[in-house]
């Protein structure tokens, strides 16, 4: 347990984070709150929101929660208006909510595609539009994308279509953000595990106990840094992009992936040197 942070790199900033009810969004909420920001996180899962709040309290921190479906433009208006009404401004937006569905071409339906595009593309566009509306003194937007947006991946004709858009929308918005002093960047996580080398319940459900252990080890072996990423690693990068330290950084696509994009480790199973 640590004391509530009163000052830090994000002091005085009001930050809105979508999908703060689990994983990466939860850790980004915790990191930005610990760096002094006033944080509002959103999502659709009330239980997940309660868990995020509990973890914040355990660390002597606080962030408020608003229910939010990012695929609905009018919900975006409500959420952003509510933040500005409550806190007087919006300095940062983390477009974190995202969904994945990996299927080979012959199984990818239009419904699958629409599911991927509505969250990973439309939701991010609505968020950027709302940020442009209220960030009258400049600001910073971060789109959370995926490595599938930067190179080909099997079973990703739909996911790549969506996440390639997530990344490039950030670049297009960075071009337009110039006139408003709004920076827009995209962050690309590698393989993340919240519990070190312990397989997640999801991995165990998918691969079985032994299979999940192998899956974890494979990912460690094929990451140049020789370890798995933690959601906190992404949170700290996002916090940097939200801060004034990144005031000249816009339109970038940053990998936080232990070096995966440096080579074709994932596809070819090349083992790390570690």
Partner 1 sequence: MIDLTGKVAFIANADHPAAAACTGRLQAAGAKVCGAGSASADLAVDLDPYSPDSWDSAFDRCKTELGGLDVLVIPTGATASEGILSLAPEDFVAAHRSLAVTAFLAQNRGILAMRASGIEGAVIHILPAAARAAAGDAAAACTASAGILFSSKSAALECAKAKDGIVVNAILAGPIEGEEPLNYGVPVDPVSPDDIASAVLFFAAEGAAYMTGMDLPVDNGLVAQ
* Interacting residue ranges for partner 1, rule: CB under 8 A: 73, 104-106, 108-110, 113, 117, 121-122, 125-126, 128-129, 132-133, 148-165, 167-169, 171-176, 251, 267
Question: Closest CB to partner 1 among 56 and 121?
Answer: 121
- Could you confirm whether 159 is annotated as catalytic? yes
CB of 142 to partner 1, least distance (A): 16
Question: Closest CB to partner 1 among 174 and 228?
Answer: 174
CB of 253 to partner 1, least distance (A): 10
CB of 77 to partner 1, least distance (A): 10
> At 38, phi and psi to the nearest 5?
-85, 115
Burial code (b: 16+ CB inside 10 Å, e: under 16) for 194-210 equals beeeebbeebbeeeeee
- 3-state SS, 136-161, equals CCCEEEEEECCHHHCCCCCCCHHHHH
Question: Closest CB to partner 1 among 11 and 107?
Answer: 107
Kindly report the number of other CB atoms within 10 A of residue 47's CB atom.
Answer: 9
Q: Which is catalytic among the residues 65, 126, 159, 265?
A: 159
CB of 114 to partner 1, least distance (A): 9
Question: Closest CB to partner 1 among 140 and 156?
Answer: 156
Distance, CA of 29 to CA of 20 (rounded, Å)? 6
Residue 15 contacts residue 67 (beta carbons within 8 Å) = no
Catalytic residue positions, numbered: 159
């Amino acid at each position: 347990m640590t004391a509530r942070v009163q000052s830090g790199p994000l002091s005085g900033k009001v930050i809105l984070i979508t999908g703060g009810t689990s994983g990466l969004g939860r850790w980004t909420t915790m990191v930005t709150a610990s760096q002094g920001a006033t944080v509002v996180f959103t999502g659709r899962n009330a239980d997940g929101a309660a868990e995020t709040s509990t973890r914040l309290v355990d660390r002597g921190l606080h962030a408020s929660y608003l229910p939010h479906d990012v695929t609905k433009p009018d919900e975006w208006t409500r959420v952003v208006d509510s933040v500005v009404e409550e806190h007087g401004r919006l300095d940062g937006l983390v477009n974190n909510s995202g969904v994945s569905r990996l299927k080979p071409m012959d199984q990818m339906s239009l419904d699958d595609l629409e599911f991927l595009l509505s969250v990973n593309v439309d939701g991010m566009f609505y968020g950027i539009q709302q940020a442009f509306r209220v960030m009258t003194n400049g600001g910073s937007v971060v789109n959370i994308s995926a490595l599938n947006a930067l190179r080909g991946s099997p079973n990703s004709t739909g996911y790549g279509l969506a996440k390639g858009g997530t990344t490039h929308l950030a670049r297009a918005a960075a071009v337009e953000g110039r006139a408003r002093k709004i920076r827009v960047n995209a962050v690309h996580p590698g393989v993340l595990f919240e519990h070190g080398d312990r397989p997640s319940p999801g991995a165990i459900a998918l691969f079985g106990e032994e299979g999940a252990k192998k899956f974890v080890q494979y990912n460690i072996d094929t990451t140049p840094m020789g370890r798995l990423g933690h959601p906190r690693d992404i949170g700290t990068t996002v916090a940097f992009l939200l801060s004034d330290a990144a005031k000249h950084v816009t339109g970038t696509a940053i990998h936080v992936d232990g070096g995966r994009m440096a080579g074709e480790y994932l596809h070819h199973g090349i083992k790390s040197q570690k």
